[in-house]
Structure 1
Amino acid sequence: MEQSPAFATSVNKQKIVVIMGSTGAGKSRLSIDLATRYFKNSEIINSDKMQVYTGLDITTNKITMEEQFNVPHHLLSTIDPTKTVLAPSDFRKLASEIISDVKSRHGLPLVVGGSCSLIYSLVTNEFDPNSDVFNGPLPDPVSTELCYDCCFIWVDVCLPVLNQYLSKRVDEMLDAGMFKELVDYFQSGECERVFESGLGQSIGVPEFETYFKKFPDTPADPNRKQISSSEDSDEENVEYNEAIRRIKENTYVLAKKQVSKIAKLKDAGWNVKRIDATEVFRAAVTAECGSEKVAELWEKLVLERSVKIVEEFLAE
């Protein structure tokens, strides 16, 4: 069992903000809004277990350099997927060192990501790498003894609305070059060099594996769209469409699992502040709602409430 970092044993635990939520729920957007507009000494520590690796930036939906607005980001595209798999205990060590460094410069660490296993490993006072509080027929009990003074913000979206948005997001990722990225990944042989239990688990990779085994010489057409016409029912298009269907379905499943894990932490006694962003996302998937309306709802229902929570937390 791994003890908490030495600096966390003092009476005054270090304050960190942890932004949680399922895939696609707006965690990165919220963190950037907080860091650029309200808490300008913030630095972001990625806690998405796929985004820690280099490569597949579009497939893993990493925030772009432009979207980062010069806010420092840590543990984002830093781990070589051909060298190692980042275990929760590894993340705990690396992230705790980063937090200590950020705090030494009087910064505010924002831990941002959907991996509850990484978050749990980081903030629990004593972390046992052999325990599993989320999976299995008899999961271990959730520890409520934390080594940091944590402000947990959960950006939540009701699943039916979120699933509509996630379907749209997959289409947007394809438009942004996800298919070309996967062509390069499989045809370059990179897929043979990465660990299956690491980057090889990224949604998009297993789903397209059969396609690329059958059609290894597929040209990297960045403009390829999902084809639903009965005229285009040849085997390659059928396999392509099936891969996209599985990507969307597995993304829905992932989101549901992530929500259940966060709910488990909250039910166990973690002081998780839930922000309901459903109406924002409902507007985002509704054709008649423009971007200005969506931005207005985000400001009122998500950002303003989150700012208040963080301000109260820092003032305690």
Structure 2
Amino acid sequence: MAKQQCIVLIGPTAVGKTELSIHLAKKFNAEIISGDSMQVYKGMDIGTAKISKEEMAGIPHHLLDIKSPDEPFSVAEFQQIVRQKIGEIGKRGRIPLIVGGTGLYIQSVLYDYRFPDISGDGAYRRELEAKAAQEGPEALYRMLEKVDPKSAETIHPHNVRRVIRALEIYHFSGKTAFEYHKPQQSEMLYDAALIGLTMDREKLYARINRRVDDMIEQGLVEEVRHLYGRHLRDAQSIQAIGYKELYAYFDGYITFEEAVAQLKRNTRRFAKRQLTWFRNKMKMEWFDMTDESQKQKKFQEISVFVAGKLQLKSNSL
């Protein structure tokens, strides 16, 4: 039985995925599925660099604005929804195009990931939450580094929810989250064209800094203040870069200038981790987008790669 075809476009934040995704969607009659774990949240538009209605250019987009910011969203739920969407898009005679930068989430869809059915218990979770509150999130992260260093490499030290989940898995099963999350089969479940975008690091960092300045001008502070005013504190969504830094400013721990500097620094570090993760975890065709004057030529080169990989006919633009 032939595998479902799909296109996967990944790369670090600010590398230029959005514009290319629209180009590819038009060229190959595709519908776009967001592969970003934070763009699922309603009202979190500026800080997550969510595509606007105008930028969509009429292309159907999926997995945007499907959750309230106070709701959790797991990689297992992402896997289930995206696989369903891939099937639905294929039945419409169109190509699913997954676009994003959350590596584990995308990998869980493409490979045979099975997630641990470990509920744990409230007492252990409360113990860990209390430790984080008293000693800071870094204390939990150090615990995780000792028992599951490979998972620790993929989790931000301040993502308390994910750190606690990884510690729960080890505590109740004796296995690490990394062991559970490894694909049970290395064979890809789809006939996929995997595209990775990269860029000279200094240029990428400069683009990130400019993007943060643009976000501030577009109203990021007001967007985050609205969530802050709703007294959202322990929600998974607030752990996103761009939100937690401004929360610290609103709480009076840092100045506005320090919050913006931290936001830029944390985004640059995140982009570096994204590139490292993608290069180590997934085999793909990489395209360097450093020379913006050659962007259209690169778009054509990538289109030729996709057409050849999936034996697709493209629409002329």
Question: Which runs of 5 or more structure 2 residues have no equivalent in the other structure?
Answer: 119-147, 154-175, 313-317
Question: How far 1:136 sits from its partner (Å)?
Answer: 3.2
* Corresponding pairs, count: 257
Matched, 1:191 2:232: yes
Which of 257, 261, 265 aligns to 1:245? It is 261
SS at match of 1:305: helix
Distance 1:306 1:133 in 2: 36
Q: Residues of 2 paired with 1:242 and 1:169: CA distance?
A: 17
- 2:107 corresponds to: 120
Q: Deviations over 1:203-253 (max 9, x none)?
A: 1211112221239xxxxxxxxxxxxxxxxxxxxxx7000000000000001
Partner of 2:92: 105
Contact 2:8 2:195 in 1 (8 A): yes
Aligned pair partner of 1:72 in 37, 49, 60: 60
Letter aligned with residue 223 of structure 2: E
Distance (Å, rounded) in 2 between the aligned partners of 1:166 and 1:200: 20
Shift of 1:130: 7.9
- Residue of structure 1 equivalent to 2:305: 309
Instruction: Provide the secondary structure at the position in 2 that maps to 1:135.
Output: helix
Instruction: Call closer, same or farther: CA 1:47–1:134 in 2, change over 3 Å.
Output: farther
When residues 277 and 134 of structure 1 are mapped into structure 2, their CA distance, relative to the original with a 3 A threshold, is farther
* Partners of 1:133 and 1:298 in 2: CA distance: 39
- Please show how residues 133-212 of structure 1 align to structure 2 within 5 Å: 135-136=151-152, 139-140=178-179, 144-186=186-228, 188-192=229-233, 195-196=234-235, 198-212=236-250
Q: Secondary structure at the match of 1:278?
A: coil
Provide structure 1 residue ranges, at least 5 long, that are not aligned to the other structure.
1-10, 216-237, 281-293
Aligned 8 A contact 2:31 2:97 in 1: yes
* Counterparts in 2 of 1:116 and 1:134: CA distance versus 1, 3 Å: farther
Amino acid at match of 1:276: D
| Equivalent residue for 1:42, pick from 23, 30, 37 | 30
Could you say what secondary structure the match of 2:210 adopts?
helix
Whole-angstrom distance in 1 between the partners of 2:258 and 2:76: 36
Q: Which residue of structure 2 lines up, in the alignment, with residue 273 of structure 1?
A: 285
Q: Describe the shift of the 1:151–1:202 C-alpha distance in structure 2 as closer, same or farther (beyond 3 A).
A: same
How far does residue 81 in structure 1 lie from its aligned partner after superposition?
2.3
Give the C-alpha shift of residue 258 in structure 1: 0.4
SS of alignment partner, residue 310 of structure 1: helix
- 1-side partners of 2:256 and 2:10: how far apart? 32
Shift of 1:158: 2.2
Provide the rounded CA distance (Å) in 2 between the counterparts of 1:134 and 1:77: 31
Where in structure 2 are the equivalents of 1:9-24 lying within 5 Å?
Answer: 11-24=1-14
- How many angstroms does 1:160 deviate by? 1.6
Inter-CA distance 242–169: structure 2 relative to 1 (3 Å threshold): same
Correspondent of 2:275 among 251, 259, 282: 259
Q: Which amino acid aligns with 1:51?
A: Q
State the alpha-carbon separation in 2 of the partners of residues 130 and 253 from structure 1: 32
User: Normalising by structure 1, what TM-score?
Assistant: 0.76
> Which residue does 1:28 correspond to in 2?
18
Match of 1:221 in 2: none
Shift of 1:265: 2.0
TM-score by length of 2: 0.76
Aligned-residue offset at 1:190: 4.7
> Aligned-pair distance for 1:113?
0.4
> Relative to 1, partners in 2 of residues 1:170 and 1:128: Cα closer, same or farther, differing over 3 Å?
same
Q: Does the aligned pair in 2 maintain the 1:88–1:129 contact within 8 Å?
A: no
Aligned partners of 1:89 and 1:129 also within 8 Å: no
Match of 1:88 among 72, 75, 96: 75
Measure how far apart 1:155 and its partner are.
Answer: 0.8
Give deviations 1:243-298, integer Å, cap 9, x for gaps. 000000000010011001100124xxx3x000100122xxxxxxxxxxxxx4xx21
Indicate conservation of the 8 Å contact 2:221/2:246, yes or no: no
